[in-house]
Amino acid sequence: MSDSIHMLTDIARPFFNFFPNRSHLPWLAWLRAVDTLRPACARNTTFLWLTVVLAALCLRPDLGGVTSLVRALGLSPASYHCLLHFFHSDALNLDPLTRCWRATLERLLARRLVRVKGRPILLVDGLKRGKEGRKMPAVKCLHQESGSNAKADFIMGHSLQAVAVLAQAAGVCMAVPLAARIHEGIGWSNRDRRTLLDKMGALILGLQWSEPVIVVADAYYAAEKFARTLLANNHHLVTRVKTTAVAYFPAPPTLLKKRGRRKVYGHKTKLRSWFGYRQEFRLAPSPVYGEKGVPLRFYSHDLLWRQLGRVVRFVWVDHSTRGQMVLLCTDLTLEPMEILRLYGWRFKIEVSFKSAIHTVGAYAYHFWMQDMTPIRRGSGKQHVHRKSEIYRQHLRRKLAAYQRHIQLGLIAQGLMQCLALNFRRVIWSNFHTYIRTAAPQKPPSEWVVAQALRHTWPQFLRGCPQCLNLKNFLASRICPRFCKYSEVFNLDAPA
């Protein structure tokens, strides 16, 4: 009993008015978090299917598409078509679902969110996933800029952009995913001039943050459009700029009155040339996450960035192992070392991508569109502004199914990360297998959480009264021949 009390003190507020079985704690917290997503569902049946899909995403041992969801819970073969209809149904509204998930994370991780000057940290980046289907909308030829030998230079696939929020516990940082969208591949109108930067800005603002945030991104997002969108809503940007970029000194004040507009920009300077003033650089230990005792040299100065038309803070960094880079921050109150520490967290979203792909399978969808015009390998964007309205509606329906699958996969990953951050001891105590890199003093990975949830799922259904509605819903959809714990539903079969 004392262990259960100690576990419940790890979360933002008590979930329950009693102290349940130790193995039930993660699933009870999981169920309580899923209940907050109910407003995004048009009907109660839709919400129950949402709960079933999220549970299957957390439990499935393989990434074989929708069929793996059926195998994970031991569902009947007829449930496969029900799941296909669920992903294509308008009863699950994507935008309210994303906003509900953002509000849920703010509540669950109230004490875990990493804040700088009271503002949460958002990590944004792009992602490319290979898709070979000739009848899959938005699939196009994509170029991958990577030094990995495992990645081809050109692939056919979907181009996505993702947003994550940074959380921390026991000295471990995690990028908890918020949303990801397919932002490329289909041209709905030849008058649409929106870029990927415009769509990423709209995705961040669509989350409807109640407080200012700091967005950390790579050099691709060091652009006028994206920075102006954030500043107009009181958000700030921390990013890296190319060393070929230039900046301007403010124009010197003049006493003589001349006709015309006063000069704003002074002398132009190449940012790369500032690395030549090594005597001005200061020596300090690296504040980057995971680096201890690594020296670096840095220098900071506020200059005019012409793309934005305002003064921003530049930080020149000469790292002993990572080389030279120039960072940009639109918040002039942040210290140089704080800016460097913020940008060091950016790679955490890459770790989140790896778990979403290989552990959760958020991007392992294979929905084809039967009446779609087949695409050829190496083709680019699909322009459909001259297609019939019925054809365009079918494309929108299929794209919406992709987006729902991705969003639900990210929610399942985020739920496992919340359990890892808030129920670290309980997860490790229910991890009944071997892993060489086990570290019980730190929050576990999503893979470890998934193993613990698989071990406790039958006990949770068997002995927890809070899951009665879910048990009654699953009772008529379980196939005893495929489900190893079908005896759990014996009492609920007549319902």
Give the tens place of pLDDT for each residue, 139-148.
999 988 776 6
The tokens of 378 are what? 């190496």
pTM of the model: 0.90
User: 180-219: per-residue pLDDT in tens?
Assistant: 999 998 988 888 888 999 999 999 999 999 899 999 999 9
**Cα(460)–Cα(4) distance, rounded to whole angstroms?**
16
Average pLDDT score over residue span 269-286 = 91
HSE-up of residue 77 (Cα within 13 Å, Cβ side): 1
The tokens of 455 are what? 């071990």
The letter for the amino acid at 400 is A
Residue 484 has pLDDT above 70, yes or no: yes
Residue 12 has pLDDT above 60, yes or no: no
Q: Could you list the residue range(s) of the whole structural domain that residue 262 is in? A: 238-330
Does residue 266 fall inside a structural domain?
A: yes
Q: Check residue 379 and give its pLDDT.
A: 86
**Cα(434)–Cα(222) distance, rounded to whole angstroms?**
44
Closest CA to 105 of 362, 448, 417: 417
Q: Check residue 11 and give its pLDDT.
A: 43
Does residue 228 fall inside a structural domain?
A: no
Does residue 297 fall inside a structural domain?
A: yes
Closest CA to 410 of 48, 112, 165: 165
CB 240 within 8 A of CB 266: no
Closest CA to 395 of 135, 203, 154: 135
Does residue 286 fall inside a structural domain?
A: yes
Number of domains in the chain: 1
Does residue 270 fall inside a structural domain?
A: yes
Does residue 174 fall inside a structural domain?
A: no
Residue 402 has pLDDT above 70, yes or no: yes
Residue 18 has pLDDT above 50, yes or no: no
Does residue 418 fall inside a structural domain?
A: no
The tokens of 453 are what? 């949830």
Does residue 271 fall inside a structural domain?
A: yes
